[in-house]
Structure 1
């Protein structure tokens, strides 16, 4: 039985919106038949395009959100939120200054540090490192260090005369706890012939893993007193790193410090030091959203072309329905349902696929690594050891609503064209 003959038997005479007949006819148009097989192929590609577009948008935006969150937590969690450096004289009163800074509202840690560039070497290899001199109590108060010790211990760090190094650095140099690492700096002791490099060997007392490849491959923590002697610091430090309770309140805490400074200090914060990096992440995130939205837009345009071909193929059936008493509104609603069904079902399927993928992305990555024998997520390139994913439900809602709106808009013109069809002309042409 053709759609036209079915229409002659069951065309409704009322004006009820989205009647059962309209749903039934729209369903018949969506099912594959030999005569309109190409139309169904286009509808299938439209469905797949919307599904993949929505899923990809959700997955990529979730990974970008997770990437930014993890980087922010690790960069700020290790390097601090505010950095205080001296102006007029060396920071030799760092203990008193740090004690006064800890009393400022919103500050939870104020850690004096000695920092210096050096070359670390072993019998296996060598590489540039950032040496940080820190007291035992302070290194134990940094969760990203104290909570991620993989080998050895930080107990007795101040008196062991050893160093704590990152796991990637230990791997590249072939070191384990108890092995010796040699640290070389060009700024050593002054001699009549100039400054001689300083070379000293230290036992490795702890190996930590922050989870950020750049830090795990370059950080060496040394007891504060030893670092002052090694870098020729006369009882002073380079900087006092300040950790605050809420990174979003950085400016408010800076204002409190500047209102009553313990001594003349130059203050900078994590936003200034990492502005270019996080701005680049934000730009990349926005560009990816635009590019992936184009995938959804192309898929919705396929709905337009598919429905126009369907209207042309069903011209005779539409004319018969009109002569049997079907109103223009009935025809309009039939094709609205047909096109909207593709968009709604595709959006829902893409939503489910995107959420499932985003929630299990690390498991999927491990499975692909075992299957392919390679790691698609190279931590040496992407900074982080694991793939982060944070689902922002407001963004997900934006993606879903945007796709539904585009899908519904795509059905308007073909449906309007079908409703405006003149049945007399259509039957003559048929």
Structure 2
């Protein structure tokens, strides 16, 4: 199949003779010809995980850190997030547009593996549909904190034939998780006391706060467009710079919308290939895309969210919970002694050991000198970081703040003075 390069601000009907004809304007996306694109450097691959959110055990007595009477087996069996390896591995590349609309523009390419009507096809179609709902002309202004999808193509020949390739504008290639790990390595190479270099520590703290602030702005925007992210983590926030000096303004954008869920009143799921999206401009009702959201709605039902509004609110609260885990990661990873903590261990500490009792977790962390940098960061503004973390990880999903409310919290609120 040879996809003809056609220009923007129209949806295109995919015909049996492989031609496209314009329909009603829907979004500013381009159907590229594979020869329009130059693939340059591999950025590696990304594997997706199936995640089930934490549900605290409400049994008698519960577990605390009081004394040393911890039943470790019971802790391990508690309702921590369960992770199941996904079957889809997506390849990432840098590149440029060689010809046609946007010629010369630097891009990031995301290649979904081939397989007609497969999970990979559904994820590619879902990511395309999510961006189409968030980008002009659906909205007046470009979303500042969401990556910009330019379009896509499907190679006709060779080893990549039949794969779905999405083409994103290159606004950065370093993720928040990568920056945090690099910062931890700096601490390792410079000595642990480097974290107490007052000037550098303050700049890094300000940098992390700005990453989190812009992440929540992006999440608030997505929610305002009746979309859920559902895959938020350190690798799903991309940065345009890693310079903490402030010489180049930071711009953080959300990416990885393959598991995004439409929670609009007229939400439709289906259409397992990019061709279906180009043809109809929306997603019709078929099973593959329904399955991407099935786990979310199963958990919503278990938590008593059964009406349309409750299910939507549960999904928003679920995204905020994931953002809370991201907050914890960005507080600990850059500011702790290298090797003393990692993402799974931190999550188990919060969810299993302390059952989301953030106050108790703080006391425990303060007693470990390797984690004093993280404690100091969250202690800012009278412990505002711990307060926000506790609110975002609240076991009762109805009591969690919205993304917009998080932005008004003292820990993230911008200083306008």
The TM-score with structure 1 as length reference comes to 0.20
- The structure whose RCO (Cα within 8 Å, separation 6+) is larger is 1
Higher relative helix content: 1
TM-score, structure 2 length as denominator? 0.21
Q: Which structure is larger by alpha-carbon Rg, 1 or 2? A: 1
